[in-house]
Amino acid sequence: MVARFVPENTVSEFFQAAERLAEQHPVVIVGSSGYGGPLDEAAQRLGEHPNVQWLGHVSDDKKLLSLWHHAGAYFHGHSVGGTNPALVQAMACGAPVVARQTPYNAEVLRADEHLVAPDPLAIESALRRMLTDHDLRAKARAANQARAATHYDWDDVCRRYELTLQEAVLGEKAAKIGSEVRQ
């Protein structure tokens, strides 16, 4: 998991799933609240488990990208804010993603079978399936990399922004002309 420790990022639910996952799989947690508190304390307690590493905030992009690239599964619990850059980066690195079911994550990931409710048991089950099914994991890696490359390259993003702005300007001009004609 890579996240800022706030409730809308499904952190406590992931922590509950991680307790059980760590019995058979290594778990890496990246993030913090930035100010301490109950979620940081829970991460610290989890980090005492021999199969859990809490890295705190990671500002080294190379290290973060490497973690996504080598992940057996990545949980993306963010639930607000539209297209999340961390999700796109994880996909571009080929991380096999399990994400919280939200309209934003569904639009970016386009893999409904890897979307889960914000429930510890659902999160654990989906991650365990990803971690133990080699074919599923390989397909998810390839699909995520291809989707990130096809739909989230900067040239394409800038081109789409430009078209949206042009449509907005032309729409305003068309509305103004229509208003003048009616008068």
Indicate whether 25 belongs to any domain: yes
Residues 6+ apart with CB under 8 A from 7: none
Indicate whether 79 belongs to any domain: yes
Task: Please check the confidence at residue 174 and state whether its pLDDT lies above 60.
Answer: no
Indicate whether 2 belongs to any domain: no
Tens digits of per-residue pLDDT, 116-171? 999 999 999 999 999 999 999 999 999 999 999 999 988 888 888 888 888 888 87
| pTM exceeding 0.75 | yes
Same domain, residue pair 123 and 167:
no
Query: Residue 176 belongs to what domain range?
Result: 154-182
Same domain, residue pair 33 and 67:
yes
Same domain, residue pair 147 and 159:
no
Same domain, residue pair 161 and 107:
no
φ, ψ (nearest 5 deg) of residue 18? -65, -35
What tokens appear for 103 in the block? 């309209």
Residue 47 belongs to domain with CATH number? 3.40.50.2000
Indicate whether 129 belongs to any domain: yes
Length of the chain: 183
Same domain, residue pair 18 and 101:
yes
Indicate whether 90 belongs to any domain: yes
Indicate whether 107 belongs to any domain: yes
What tokens appear for 110 in the block? 């386009």
pLDDT of residue 158: 87
Domain count, the chain: 2
Same domain, residue pair 158 and 148:
no
Same domain, residue pair 113 and 160:
no
Q: DSSP 3-state assignment of 97?
A: strand
pLDDT of residue 173: 63
Tens digits of per-residue pLDDT, 30-68? 999 999 999 999 999 999 999 999 999 999 999 999 999
Indicate whether 1 belongs to any domain: no
Same domain, residue pair 130 and 69:
yes
Same domain, residue pair 119 and 44:
yes
Confidence of residue 176 (pLDDT cuts 50, 70, 90): low
Same domain, residue pair 52 and 141:
yes
Same domain, residue pair 133 and 158:
no
Ranges assigned E (strand) in 17-126? 27-30, 52-56, 74-76, 97-100, 115-116
Indicate whether 32 belongs to any domain: yes
Same domain, residue pair 33 and 61:
yes
pLDDT of residue 163: 87
